[in-house]
Amino acid sequence: MTKGKVAIMHNKQESSFAAQKKLTALLQEADYIIDQNDPDIVVSIGGDGTFLSAFHEFEHKLDHVRFLGVHTGHLGFYTDWRDFELEELVSNLSNDENPPISYPLLDVQVKYHQQDEPQHFLALNEATIKRAIRTMVADVYIKDEIFERFRGDGLSVSTPTGSTAYNKSVGGAVLHPRINAFQLAEIASLNNRVFRTLGSPIIISDSEWLTIYLEESSDYLITIDRFTIQHDGIESISFKIADERVHFASYRHMHFWRRVKDSFIGEV
Ligand code: NAP
Quick: pLDDT tens for 1-25: 678 999 999 999 999 999 999 999 9
Query: Is the minimum distance from the CB of 49 to ligand 1 under 6 angstroms?
Result: yes
Query: Is the minimum distance from the CB of 52 to ligand 1 under 6 angstroms?
Result: yes
3-state helix, strand, coil in the chain (%, to 5): 20, 40, 40
Q: 50 CA distance to ligand 1 centroid (A)?
A: 10
Q: Give, using CA atoms, the residue closest to atom 37 of ligand 1.
A: 166
Q: How far apart are CA 246 and CA 61, in angstroms?
A: 10
Alpha carbons within 13 angstroms on the beta-carbon side of residue 120 total 12
Strand ranges inside the chain, DSSP E: 4-10, 32-34, 41-46, 66-71, 81-82, 101-112, 119-123, 126-131, 136-142, 145-158, 181-189, 202-205, 210-214, 220-224, 227-229, 234-248
Query: Is the minimum distance from the CB of 54 to ligand 1 under 6 angstroms?
Result: no
pLDDT score for 245 = 97
φ, ψ at 120 (rounded to 5°): -105, 140
For residue 120, what are the contacts with CB-CB under 8 A and spacing of at least 6? 107, 108, 109
Instruction: From the CA of 49, give the closest atom in ligand 1.
Output: 25
Query: Is the minimum distance from the CB of 158 to ligand 1 under 6 angstroms?
Result: no
pLDDT score for 252 = 78
From the CB of residue 249, how many other CB atoms can be counted at a distance below 10 Å? Answer: 22
Query: Is the minimum distance from the CB of 72 to ligand 1 under 6 angstroms?
Result: no
pLDDT score for 140 = 98
pLDDT score for 218 = 87
Q: Give, using CA atoms, the residue closest to atom 42 of ligand 1.
A: 166
Where do the domains of the chain lie, and which CATH numbers do they carry?
4-96+249-264 (3.40.50.10330), 105-245 (2.60.200.30)
Interior/surface letters 86-109, b for 16+ CB within 10 angstroms, e for the rest = beebbebbeeeeeeebebbbbbbb
Q: How far apart are CA 137 and CA 261, in angstroms?
A: 36
Query: Is the minimum distance from the CB of 251 to ligand 1 under 6 angstroms?
Result: no
Q: How far apart are CA 149 and CA 229, in angstroms?
A: 23
pLDDT in tens, the chain (268 residues): 678 999 999 999 999 999 999 999 999 999 999 999 999 999 999 999 999 999 999 999 999 999 999 999 888 899 989 999 999 999 999 887 777 899 999 999 999 998 889 999 999 999 999 998 899 999 999 999 999 999 999 999 999 999 999 999 999 999 999 999 999 999 999 999 889 999 999 999 999 999 999 998 889 999 999 999 988 899 999 999 999 999 999 777 778 999 999 999 998 8
Q: 131 CA distance to ligand 1 centroid (A)?
A: 21
Q: 174 CA distance to ligand 1 centroid (A)?
A: 15
Catalytic residue among 31, 35, 38, 48: 48
The amino acid at 93: L
pLDDT score for 261 = 96
pLDDT score for 1 = 67
- Annotated active-site residue 63? The verdict is no
Q: 211 CA distance to ligand 1 centroid (A)?
A: 25
Quick: pLDDT tens for 85-111: 999 999 999 887 777 899 999 999 999
pLDDT score for 254 = 78
Query: Is the minimum distance from the CB of 175 to ligand 1 under 6 angstroms?
Result: no
Query: Is the minimum distance from the CB of 171 to ligand 1 under 6 angstroms?
Result: no
Per DSSP, the three-state class of 48 is helix
Q: How far apart are CA 209 and CA 225, in angstroms?
A: 19
Residue in 16, 48, 170, 175 to alter for ligand 1 test, most ligand atoms within 8 A of Cβ: 48
pLDDT score for 132 = 83
